[in-house]
Amino acid sequence: VAEMYKVPIIADEIYDNFVFPGQTYVPIASLTTTVPVLSCGGLTKRFLVPGWRLGWIVIYDRNNVFAEEVRKGLLCMSQRIIGSNTLIQGALPTILKNTPQSFFDDTINFVKRNAETAFTKLKAVPGLMPVMPQGAMYMMVRVDMNRFPQFHNDLEFVERLVSEQSVFCLPGKCFNYPNYIRLVLTVPEDLLREACDRMLQFCSQHLVCPPPSRLVGLLVENRSLYATYGKKYGMFVDNPHSENWHTTWQLAVTLAGAMRNNEQSFRTGRKMSSTRNT
């Protein structure tokens, strides 16, 4: 598409090679021989030094499309904008050349373990659906806003989560990704586990799960499903559900549907019997 419409690509590749074992990083520039690419990278993520504010732009331009105006403009911009201090710039070649691979491996393995921990704990939280990442240092978690009708959007959800449980996540609204929140996976494991536990407490307190049918609603209201569904009418109680609570709820829905079908069949049979007697 970029080649068809003569559009150059600006690639945000600050997470280059920051992928979990078994995954492969593919640079955008490796996918084309005709479209010019400006790849933006830096030390911030892979080298874990965001405060240094040292980044770069790599130009991939096999056909010299950027030969004059763009290259000149980038040079002028780099000389006019206040950048990182000269000491860090001087150390950059040594940092890139001599940082051992073990540093990157240890960092990725640490983040991957935290990602697995967060995924396991959050998938058991009612109303949350975590997405297991393949790299980087964040996890996106879908919030089923239909189960939290008191919150109008993910921003309100995050604000209440911060005020009540002191757990801060970025709302998906920041990334034009509504109904999601973003977690950071670089914190110590014990703090991550505590944060997930607090999110469970928050969601269990605020979850409202409208029954999918009138019959299920009556069963819940009459506490007939209390033992299997583990909820008061309209909200969960103190975490009686396990990791398979979705399956338990589906079982309850299936049973209720079967009861409804039997009731309808009974009414139909009784109506036909009355007709014959008439």
Would you give the end-to-end CA distance of the chain in angstroms?
73
- Residue-level pLDDT at 157: 97
Q: Give residue-wise pLDDT tens across range 171-199.
A: 999 999 999 999 999 999 999 999 999 99
Q: Dig out the tokens for 30 from the structure.
A: 């490796």
- Residue-level pLDDT at 161: 97
What is the mean predicted confidence (pLDDT) over 251-260?
66
Cα 23 to Cα 134: distance, rounded to the nearest angstrom:
7
Quote the mean pLDDT of the chain.
Answer: 83
What letter does residue 5 receive in the DSSP assignment? T
% of the chain exceeding 70 in pLDDT: 74
CB 213 within 8 A of CB 252: no
Q: Is the confidence at residue 3, as pLDDT, over 50?
A: yes
Q: Give residue-wise pLDDT tens across range 64-84.
A: 999 888 999 988 888 876 667
